[in-house]
Amino acid sequence: MEKRLSSDRRYLLERVDDAAVVQLYADGFASLPLREKVLTWHLYLAALAGRDIYYDQRHARALDMRAVLEAIVTHPEGIDGTVLQEVRRYTKLFWINSGPYNNVTARKFVLRVTREDLIEAASVAAGNGARLSLGENDSVERLIDRLAPMFLDPSVDPTVTSKTPGPGRDILKASSNNFYSGVSASQLENYVERYGLNSRLTTDNGRLVEEVYRIGGRYDREIRRIVGHLRDALPFAEPSMGEALRALIRFYETGEDADRVAYDIAWVSDQESQVDTINGFVEVYMDPRGVKGAWEGIVSYVNQAKTRDIQALAANAQWFEDRMPWDQRFRKPDVAGVTARAIEVVVETGDSGPLTAVGINLPNDQAIREKYGSKSVSLTNVSDAYERSTPEAMRVEFSWSREEAERAKKWGGFAQELTTAMHEVIGHGSGRMAPGVTEPPHRLLGEQYSSIEEARADLVALYFLPDAKLVELGIVPGDQRDEIVSTEYEYYVRNALVQLRRVREGTQIEEDHMRNRQMIVNWLRAHTSAVEVRRRDGNTYYVMVDADAFRDGAGRLLAEVQRIKGEGDVAAARSLFETYGVHFDPALRDEIVARVDRLQLPSYTGFVMPRLDARRDSAGVIVDVEISYPCDLETQMLEYSAFARRDDVLEPPSAAR
């Protein structure tokens, strides 16, 4: 159905250290009706308009740092070649990770030049006409001195999010993100924010103050521009989407939680629109308390063909719920409105790009999920680009047998896409809290919540993957079921080993999805006969040897993980992750790193997004929206930053249309 031009297409664009840069394609966009294209255009501008909010949330100095870097790389004439090359390397990593912290390890990476080199480079760039943001009586030297500790010293603000900083250390003091300023977790023990999701907490004479993200509050400028583009989108939106957009605008205006709730409900109730957007303060992974929302912007449209498959899953959500391997009291009697779609992403910014998830399930508000359901999406063009840019060596190196590597090649893409869909559609949407438990689970479980919830969703998918129901629904071909199950289980087990490459420093895992996957595999190793650790030629392999034992173990672990969530048993959660999910053997990690480095395999991927352009007639009316693919990270990142600096809103005044 889609145009596939894979032969002459570039997916892998470049490597920067252990990051891959890959172009994302959105083939269905060109055939959308004009109204939906124009809608997408305005939402796309709204997504670009908020990007800098996320940089600022990652670190208070991130935008100043980016301005210096971009001044240098755009005005390089006369800068020492070695210094410039290092600045370019660092800047690319900075763009990919939206700031100075590695998104996977949460640790800071540094620029390997001296203070003097940096002052010299910035001065030359300024001489070449670059505009540095200098205050009164300021100098390039003073500017660099303010930023140098962040650029150059690995011990200054070393971690963006530290959920387990070690005994006696405060999770907020140990985390260098900008959700809090001068606030410790102990100060917040009996404090409930009025604007939990959308404020920065600071203190004024020892009194806690919430700086609310809203028009007239923190990020006023960015939010005003977002709202301007959302208003421009309104005339092109379906009625149900229009309602959601109006609710979102209202939330951006007031910042009040009641308006956030109204927006979440309106957004989840919009089931008709082919084009959709997520624009706001959404995921709470970056906050060690799991309360503050990182800003993200996503614009997408539905992939009809792939959506048919996963809607079959959603339509049978109750069937799966009734057979969950957990205690009766955690079963939902009526699974509400779990909708599932395969989407193609047009743009992702902030917390959702250039690094992106492959599946999303929102809203996060548990009360709304229980009452109104949730929307689940698989990002099919992202999965596709991942698959097409993955080097063959990645599968071969960590597979015990040639059969395993061949299965991975043949069924890997299919099995992972299906498991992701199940994770989102019947995983996150499932289960309920124990009777009498009224506190939301993220409050009860604190910093353990995200990992528990991700583990729960993964285990639901792994547990049901072999089920005959999937064959009956026409999702899995019956004669290939065992192969597909083996492929996924083998991949899952292998991944616990392979993912260690992403944690090049330290001996513990911070990222929630990684913790959950490490925990599941290590738990299966300890409690079942599904996984064997083997060695050959000095290399370690995790080998899945018994799919039945794997499924049985996944079911038992799932029952316990659901109990932990449903009762809010934080002690059990902590113990589960401390035992199986957080710590790893650094010698094993070193082996894995050496193997991937020898093969030059990437640890993570940043995506270059498609680019949209509006074509107008002489009266200024948009007559088409064209999509193109820049195939260059630097071009796109500089374009996005330039867009943020504009004082105007890109669009002519609404009256012109």
Q: Report in angstroms how near the CB of residue 463 gets to Zn ion at its nearest.
A: 15
Taking each helix axis as running N to C, give the angle between helix 481-498 and helix 402-422, from 0 to 180 degrees, rounded to the nearest 10: 90
Separation in Å, CA 167 to CA 85, 177, 411, 533: 41, 20, 44, 32
Residue 514 binds Zn ion (CB under 5 A): no
| Residue closest to Zn ion (Cβ) | 457
Local structure of residue 101 (DSSP, 8 states)? B
Which two structure tokens, joined as six digits, stand for 388? 């097409």
CB of 354 to Zn ion, least distance (A): 20
Nearer to Zn ion among residue 342 and residue 457 (C-beta): 457
Q: Which is nearer to Zn ion, 222 or 424 (CB)?
A: 424
- As measured in angstroms, the least distance from the Cβ of 243 to Zn ion is 27
Judged by beta carbon, residue 185 or residue 557, the one nearer Zn ion is 557
User: Checking DSSP bridges between strand 338-350 and strand 374-379, what pairing results, if any?
Assistant: parallel
**245 contacts: CB under 8 Å, gap ≥ 6:** 230, 233, 234, 237
For Zn ion, the closer of residues 96 and 457 by Cβ is 457
**Minimum CB–partner distance for residue 374 and Zn ion (Å):** 11
Output the smallest distance, CB 651 to Zn ion, in A: 35
Q: How far is the CB of 327 from Zn ion (least distance, A)?
A: 22
Instruction: Give the integer Cα–Cα distance in Å for 289 and 442.
Output: 9
Do the beta carbons of residue 352 and residue 286 sit within 8 Å?
no
Q: How far is the CB of 286 from Zn ion (least distance, A)?
A: 16
What does the alpha-carbon distance between residue 629 and residue 611 come to, in Å, rounded to a whole number?
6
Contact between 358 and Zn ion per CB under 5 A: no
175 or 419, CB closer to Zn ion? Answer: 419
Cis peptide leading into residue 354 (ω within 30°): yes
Taking the least distance from each CB to Zn ion, the nearer of 91 and 376 is 376
What is 564-589 written as a DSSP string?
HHHHT-HHHHHHHHHHHTSB--HHHH
CB closer to Zn ion out of 76 and 429: 429
Selection from 606, 511, 493, 608 nearest residue 551 by Cα: 493
How many residues touch Zn ion under the rule CB under 5 A: the total is 2
- Closer Cβ to Zn ion, 212 or 425, answer by number: 425
For position 340 contacting Zn ion by CB under 5 A, the verdict is: no
Adjacent-strand bridge partners of 301: 275, 344
Check binding of 421 to Zn ion (CB under 5 A).
Answer: no
Angle, nearest 10°, between helix axes 512-527 and 449-464?
A: 60
Q: How far is the CB of 526 from Zn ion (least distance, A)?
A: 24
- Report the residue from 68, 457, 582, 614 that binds Zn ion according to the rule CB under 5 A: 457
Length of the chain equals 657
- Closest approach, Cβ 417 to Zn ion, in A, equals 14
Q: Near Zn ion by CB under 5 A, which window of 231-239, 299-307, 457-465, 629-637?
A: 457-465
By C-beta, is 452 or 627 nearer to Zn ion?
452
294-302 β-sheet, strand order: 275-283, 294-302, 338-350, 374-379, 359-362
Contact letters (x/-) for Zn ion, 425-454, by CB under 5 A? -----------------------------x
In angstroms, give the least distance from the CB of 425 to Zn ion.
11
Q: Does 377 bind Zn ion (CB under 5 A)?
A: no
Give the three-class secondary structure for 555.
helix
8 A C-beta contact, residue 399 and residue 290 = no
In this structure, what are the phi and psi dihedrals at residue 52, rounded to the nearest 5 degrees? -70, -20
Nearer to Zn ion, 285 or 400 (CB): 285
Binding site for Zn ion (CB under 5 A): 454, 457
